[in-house]
Amino acid sequence: MFASAGSLAGSGRTITFALFIGLVCITLAITVWARMHTDGAVDFYAGGRVFSGPQNGLALAGDYMSAASFLGIAGIISLSGYDGFLYSIGFLVAWLPALLIVELMRNTGRFTMADVLSHRARRQSSVRIAAAVSTVTVSVFYLIAQMVGAGALIALLLGVRPGATFLGMSAGTAEVMTIVVVGALMICYVMFGGMKGTTWVQIIKAALLMFGATLMTVLVLGRFGFDLSHLLGAAARSSGKGHAFLEPGLKYGKEVSGHSSQTLFNKLDFVSLALALVLGTAGLPHIVTRFYTVPDARAARTSVNWAMGLVGAFYLMTIALGFGATALVGRKEIIAHDPAGNTAAPLLARELGRHVAGRIGGDIMLAFVASVAFATILAVVAGLVMASATSLAHDYFGNVLMLGRPQERQEVAVARFAAFLIGSVAIVLAVFAKNLNVAFLVALAFAMAASANLPAIVFTLFWRRFNGAGMVAGIYGGLLSSIVLVVFSPVVSGKVDPVTGQSLSLFPKGTDFHWFPLDNPGLVSIPVGFLCAFVGTFLSRDKTDPDGFTELSVRSLTGAGAH
C-alpha cells in the first residue's frame, strides 16, 4: 500500500507542516485576544464565568478526549480488536461518575478542588496544601506522558526518521524541538490567555476532532455499505487472527497455560486498569476546574448534556476508526509504521482520502488528521498546566501563605509564574524521558487521581462525619500508595517479552526489584485511599460541623450561594 514506513508523511509533509503552522497562528491569535479581555482572578481562573452550556460542553469534551483517545484507542482496536474496544467503553463509562461529582463540586467551589474540601475543614491550610500537592503531582505525571507522546507522534506524522533530517535537524533534535515547541505554546496559552484562551483552544480542538472523526466514520462505513457486520468481518480477516479478533483475550486477561497464578494476575490487572480509568476521571484536576467557567448550575447541567453527547458519539465512532484501519490498511502495514499502532488513524485517513480523490486527497486527509492530533495535544497540556497553576496560586499562595486575603493582582501574577515554572519543569523532564516507555505515567495519573482525590471528594460531599484530618490522610495515603506500588511493579522492572526476550519495563533486562504483581495499582491503591480517609477521620480529635455539612449539601444540589 505504501512504499515504506518513511512514506507516511512523504509528499504530504509540506501540507501537514503548513497546517501545523496555521493552527499555531490561530491559537496564538486567540491567546492574544483573551489576554486583552482578562482582568482579575475570575477572568484568569474561570474565564469570567461567561461561557454558555454548549460552549463549555465542547471545551469539556476537548479536555477529556486526549490524543490517547483519538490515536491510541484507534490503534489499540486495530491491533487487539475486541480488547482494544474495551478502552473506549472504559473511557465512556468513566464519564458517568465524573459527571455525578463534578457538577456538585462546581456548585460548592470557586476555582479548585481544594475550595470544596476546605469548606468543611477546621484547619484549612493543611487540606489546601495536600490538595495542591495532589493536583500538581497528578498533572505533572500526566503532562510528561502527553509531551513525550507529542514529540514522538508529531515526529512520526512529519516523517522524521532516525538517520533523516527535518529542517536541517537530525531526528533526535527534531523530536526534542517538538517537545520544546509544544511546551512553549502551552505556557503561552496559560500565562497570557488564562482560562479564556485555554477554553477557546479546547473548543476549536473539540470541533476539529468531532468533524474529523465523523468524516472518517462516514467514509469507512460507506466503503462497507454502512453494514457494521460487514466491516467487522473484513477486519477479522485482515487481522490475521480470524474470529478471535472479535473476542476477548488477545490483550487483557490472557490465559497462561500451566501458570494459574499468572492467569489470575492478568485478570486482576485488567480489573485494576478498568477501576483506575472509570474512577480516576472524576479526580483529574483539569476536568474538575472546567466546571467553574459557567455562570450558574443550569449552564453547568447543559454543558454536561453536551459533553455526554459529544463524548458518547466520539467513542462509538472509534469502532469504525479502529476496525476500519484493520480492514482497509491491514494489521501488518500498521505495525510496520508503528508497533504500538498510534498511526492507525492517520494511515486510515490517507487510505480513505486516496480512495476518494487519489494521492492528493490522501495527503490532505493525512495532513488534516495530523493537525487534529496536534490540536488535541495542545489543548490537553494547556488544561493540565492551567489546573496546576490555579491550585498553586489560589490554594497555596492565596489561602495558605496570604491567609486567604491576597490581592487579586498578586494572585494572578503568581499563577502566571506558576504556569511558566510548571511548564518549564515539564519540558525538561519530557526531554530527558523522551526515549523511555512512559505509557505507565498515564495509568499512574489515573490511579493517583482515583486513589488520592476521589476518596476526599466523595466523603466530603456525602459523609457527615468526615473531617479535615481524614481529607489529608486520604489524599496522602492514596497518593503515596499508588506511587509506591507502581515503582515496585512490573512496569518499572522485571517484565520480559517471552517471545523476543526484550525488557517490557522501564529498566533494562536483568534489573528486577518488583514485588507487586500488577501493572496497574488501582485495585489496591484506591481502597487504600478510602481506608486512609476513613481511619484518619476516626483517629482524629477534630470535631465535625453538622451545619457545615448541611450547608454544603444544599449548595451542592441547588447551586445556591455558589460563587
pLDDT at 504: 75
Look at residue 545 in the predicted model and tell me its pLDDT.
Answer: 67
Structure confidence at residue 97 as a pLDDT band (50, 70, 90): confident
CB within 8 Å of 181: residues ≥ 6 apart:
none
CA dist 139 to 94, 282, 432, 447, 465, Å? 18, 14, 18, 12, 30
Residue 561, pLDDT score = 57
Q: Indicate the DSSP class of residue 403.
A: T
Residue with cell 514529540: 151
- Cα–Cα dist 83/197, whole Å: 37
Element (H, E) at 428: helix 408-432
State how far the Cα of 445 lies from the Cα of 427, in Å rounded to an integer: 18
Task: Give the C-alpha separation, 561 to 556, whole Å.
Answer: 9
Residue 442 vs residue 446, higher pLDDT: 446
φ, ψ (nearest 5 deg) of residue 323? -70, -30
Q: Rg for the chain (alpha carbons), in Å?
A: 23
Q: How confident is the model at residue 554 (pLDDT cuts 50, 70, 90)?
A: confident
d(CA 162, CA 289): 40
pLDDT for position 105: 79
Residue 165's DSSP bridge partners are 170
Cα gap 508→226, rounded to integer Å:
47
178 touches 151 (CB < 8 A)? yes
Which letter does DSSP use for residue 290 in this model?
G
Terminal CA-CA length for the chain: 58
Q: Which of 359, 302, 366, 263 is nearest to 18 (CA)?
A: 366
Number of Cβ atoms within 10 Å of the Cβ of 233: 16
Number of H helices and E strands in the chain, helices first, is 22, 2
pLDDT for 4 = 38
Banded model confidence at residue 509, pLDDT cuts 50, 70, 90: confident
Q: The C-alpha cell of 548 is what?
A: 457545615
Cell numbers found for residue 106: 462546581
pLDDT at position 323 = 93
Q: Which of 112-116, 342-346, 509-513, 524-528 has the highest mean pLDDT?
A: 524-528
Mean pLDDT of 259-272: 83
Rounded Cα distance, 58 and 310, in Å = 8
Give tens-digit pLDDT for 451-496.
999 999 999 888 888 888 899 999 999 999 999 998 898 888 888 8
- The DSSP string of 23-73 is HHHHHHHHHHHHHHT--SHHHHHHGGG---HHHHHHHHHHHHS-HIIIIIH
Cα separation, 402 vs 15, in Å, equals 51
The pTM of this model reads 0.85
For the chain, the average pLDDT equals 83
Using DSSP, state whether 496 is helix, strand or coil. strand
Confidence label for 6 from pLDDT (cuts 50, 70 and 90): very low
* pLDDT for the residue 439: 60
Contacts of 472 (CB under 8 A, 6+ apart): 126, 127, 130, 536
